[in-house]
Structure 1
Amino acid sequence: MKRTLQDNQEAFAGQEFFIGIDVHNKQWTVSVQSNHLALDKPVVVDPSAEKVSGFLRKRYPGGKYYAVYEAGYSGFWPARTLEESGIVTIVVNPADIPTMQKERSTKTDRVDSRKLARSLENKELKGIYIPDRLTEEYRQLARYRSRLVSEQTRLKNRIKAVLAQFNYRCPVELEGNRWSGVYLNWLRSIRFATSYAQMAYDEQLDQLQESRERLSRVLRELKRMTKEHESIGRLVTLLQTVPGIGFVTAVLLVTELVEMERFKRLEDLASFVGLAPSVHQSDEKSYSRGLTKRQHKELRSRLIESAWVAVRKDPVLTMKFGELSQRMNKKKAIIRIAKKLLSRIRSVWHTQKPYVYGVIE
């Protein structure tokens, strides 16, 4: 009687299989590689770990499965469900995947999945941090607030553009109180000659008011979250003892960094945030090309803003900023201060003790 692979559940016992998955909303393209050989043609399956697991166990029963896919809009749920199915999975930054010239000129789902499988077997990939489901949910509110702030800035700029276009100038007595309640009342008092222009203007003011109200609700919810979850709240309170770190920045740090232990050195943390230099080295020559383009945009921006506050509050940082400003422009100097601020944040996180002003490292 003819035997099939299905009859022998251990046909590939102990053999390692490396799976590259090109993840899309409607389908996943799966490529398998083992012993540095591409096995068969890539297959297209429905977007679920169950389908991938079923295919692997049917085709290569008893094997050890290792999978990889690119970080993207799908988030981390594919990684979690693949792990639950017994497939060791990593998620990688698309920029970190080695790509041959012909793979750049011919980009398809099949090519991408094969490239992932090959790079995984060659140990050329380093996975990014995968938070648990709850941690990922905690992040949503802080990130939503950041989007609201950006949206509000765009609305304000549009309103200012309309005022400039029709020569409506802010009263002198309100110059120092832009976007205060009194200033908003003045904006509401402006009248245009036609109902069409008035409607367009009023709609933008209404959008701004709605955005401000949403921002207030989100801030209240963030405060409730830190009160209800002791581990988050305790760390947020500690981080606020660092000069320049306010409540929102502290929440952002806690929800984005999650575990400080994953950064073995300060340089690793600085690289993640985007406060590390981009270095070019050839032979014995080495030079810096400024800050790395890789960054956590929101964290880097927040820390630089916090650094400007810190140099006015902490005597040690004030003195250091003065020294740096004598040999470089202030924008470069504040980047150095932001990195020192990051070092203080790391120290407070590790020691679980409030920051003490004036301590020289």
Structure 2
Amino acid sequence: MRPETQVTLPRDDTTTEARLYMAIEMAEKSWKLVFSDGVVKPNGQLRLSQTSVPGNDYLAVGEALKRAKARFDLPEAVVVISCYEAGQDGFWPHRRLAELGVENRVIDSASIEVNRRHRRAKTDRLDGRKLAEMLVRAERGERGVWRVVNVPSVEAEDARRPHRELERIRNEEKQHRTRLRSLLKLHGVRPAVIPGGRGWEGYLSELERILPPAAFAEIRRESARLALVKSQRRALEGEQRERLAAAEQDDTLLQQILILSLLKGVGRTSAWLLVMEFFGWREFKNRRQVSGCAGLDPTPYDSGESRREQGISKAGNKRIRWLMVELAWNWLRYQPESALSQWFAQRFGGGSARQRRVGIVALARRLLVAFWRYLEHGIVPEGAQLKA
């Protein structure tokens, strides 16, 4: 079966040394490995070899590498470059492949080019072949083939777990409260107190007299789940406060949180998210990379006589994007004399509500760049005030 997309590859390998390319198509039970030495056959197709190994079996991957080197007549010490799509397996395959001496690339799945036909064949075999062809093209210097994900260290990845868990727990707490209100309304009861709040336990004893037994039992169980989620939320919030209170000078991440939270309008919770999720372990070269990583960069459409703005790309970290929009509104409130607030007032202050909503996204992008310069170079945003 021929691949659906014909890719023209250079016939002469311009690399200075032989290489073995390996594309990994991951599934739950098995992995499809597609190997290539980068040589193009007379028919214009890349020379490939395929095999399957059990999923997450790195000993089998090592054995497959040895067989591929022998098949392509490559030396044992040949440079091996691999790739796989970012997914549920996370970054641990990348680290295990590095232990095998493999130079791996984690690929953003959304950046992979696809055939735009309405119906196209899709199998692990075809996807593996396509990944291998794109890997060869990317390693030979072709730009724009795909986007490679920046892999965090084990420590940086682990530091993201507490605030992400806290985010989920807060959402679960809202869901339990909404569920309790809905259960009460089904029986014509409008709660006189906030579900799970002060006085809720005493209010439950009153509900027991007016609600059917099964309905009250369900509400009691839902209340117990809400109480458990609340206790876990408080425990996580307490751990964050204790860590910040005991922050040492050599703890760079916590010091960045404290420094960022010195700005009026930026709380420690927001600073924690910005540092642990964004600034703490990523390295940016310019402001375009900063806004692009958050998905706040513009996407103009300029073709022929048609010119319009399509809005922001939304291709970056959604947590940072949402947070920066909220912080932009806070910045207008708590930093009205800053240069950014003055720019917003001149540009969008007299406009409609819709224009202000558009403008707040532009302010969020500029504010994120200002935070980066503040943490990276110590440049306080112009006109901004620090907390006493």
> What is the TM-score of this pair, normalised by structure 1?
0.84
Counterpart Cα distance in 1 of 2:21 and 2:252? 38
In structure 1, which of residues 131, 135, 145 is the aligned counterpart of residue 156 of structure 2?
135
Q: How does 1:71-220 map to 2 (within 5 A)?
A: 71-100=86-115, 105-123=120-138, 124-169=145-190, 171=192, 181-182=197-198, 184=200, 188=204, 191=207, 192-220=210-238
Runs of 5+ unmatched residues, structure 2: 1-15, 139-144
Structure 1 vs Structure 2 CA RMSD: 2.7
In structure 1, which of residues 261, 280, 295 is the aligned counterpart of residue 316 of structure 2?
295
Amino acid aligned to 1:182: R
**Bigger CA drift: 217-226 or 268-277?**
217-226
How far the C-alpha of 1:43 sits from its partner, in A, is: 0.7
Q: Please list the CA deviations of residues 277-305 of structure 1 after superposition, one character each: whole Å capped at 9, or x if unmatched.
A: 23222135432112223232222112212
The secondary structure found in structure 2 opposite 1:281 is strand
Counterpart Cα distance in 2 of 1:308 and 1:138? 28
Q: Tell me the residue number matched to 1:17.
A: 20
Q: Tell me the residue number matched to 1:6.
A: none
Q: 1:113 to 1:218 in 2, by over 3 A?
A: same
**2:322 is the alignment partner of 1:322:** no
Amino acid aligned to 1:28: W
Q: Is the 8 A contact 2:34 2:50 kept in 1?
A: yes
Counterpart Cα distance in 1 of 2:131 and 2:260? 39
Runs of 5+ unmatched residues, structure 1: 1-12
**2:53 is the alignment partner of 1:45:** yes
Aligned length: 342
- Higher RCO (Cα < 8 Å, 6 or more apart): 1
How far the C-alpha of 1:276 sits from its partner, in A, is: 2.0
Q: Tell me the residue number matched to 2:68.
A: 59
Amino acid aligned to 1:212: K
Counterpart Cα distance in 2 of 1:180 and 1:313? 32
How far the C-alpha of 1:99 sits from its partner, in A, is: 2.1
Q: 1:321 to 1:101 in 2, by over 3 A?
A: closer
Q: Tell me the residue number matched to 1:251.
A: 272
> What is the TM-score of this pair, normalised by structure 2?
0.79
Q: Tell me the residue number matched to 2:375.
A: 349
Structure richer in helix, relative to its length: 1
Percent identity for Structure 1 against Structure 2: 22
**Bigger CA drift: 346-355 or 238-247?**
346-355
Q: Is the 8 A contact 1:277 1:288 kept in 2?
A: yes
